[in-house]
Amino acid sequence: MSESNIAGVVRDGVVIPEESLPEGARVTISVERNGAVDNGSQPPTEERWRRKAPEQLLRRVREFESRSTSPPEQPAADLLADVLAHYEATETWHKLKKEIEARFPLPRRVGLWVDVVEDMYEPGRLQIISSLLLPSTASAEDLQGAHRQLVDLAVKTIPTDLALLFTCLAEPAPEQP
């Protein structure tokens, strides 16, 4: 029996492999935590991403979300900083942003869009969505390849206890009029 390594990501407790698995395949899972493989011998840490936001911070995020502007705005730096501080994720965010900018230098990327939203499935919990903006002419294959690279960066950069705080997307930049 041959063995192969297939990367994946966990979303809502479900492992999503980056490529299809053959029917009936036997699967062994190793979890990478900041570069070290966790074989279950370490005690579990509190999942910081599950923390509910304090009411004042939640109110600020909801107020921001309720504004509909055209073109849309990114959250103010102080709002993002406060959300990152609440989840003790400032260092992780800066490391992730640095990795994304290094992997996708200009002009390969048009920009990096950041949004803070309330989780639609778990009210009171916040999410930080990072959208890598590629040229509007990017093909579906380019977008899919960039998304795979983002998932790989996220798995290597984001600690497990913050895994669902961050969502990384690759999308085409809006067309300029």
Q: What is the pLDDT of residue 177?
A: 60
Q: What is the pLDDT of residue 45?
A: 57
CATH 3.30.300 fits 45-172, yes or no: yes
- Give 73's pLDDT tier (boundaries 50, 70, 90): confident
Q: What is the pLDDT of residue 37?
A: 45
- Give 7's pLDDT tier (boundaries 50, 70, 90): confident
Q: Cβ contacts of residue 160 below 8 Å, gap of 6+?
A: 31, 33, 38, 45, 47
Structural domain boundaries in the chain = 45-172
**What single string gives the DSSP state of each residue in 30-50?**
-EEETTEEE-S-SPPPP-GGG
Fill in the amino acid letter for 104. F
Q: What is the pLDDT of residue 36?
A: 46
CB 89 within 8 Å of CB 165: yes
The angle, 0 to 180 degrees and rounded to 10, between the axes of the packed helices 77-86 and 90-103 is 120
CB 146 within 8 Å of CB 105: no
* 130-165 residue pLDDT tens: 999 999 999 999 999 999 999 999 999 999 899 899
* Predicted model pTM: 0.70
Q: What is the pLDDT of residue 70?
A: 58
What does the mean pLDDT of the chain come to? 83
Look at the block and give the residue holding tokens 């969505």: 129
- Give 6's pLDDT tier (boundaries 50, 70, 90): confident
- Give 60's pLDDT tier (boundaries 50, 70, 90): very high
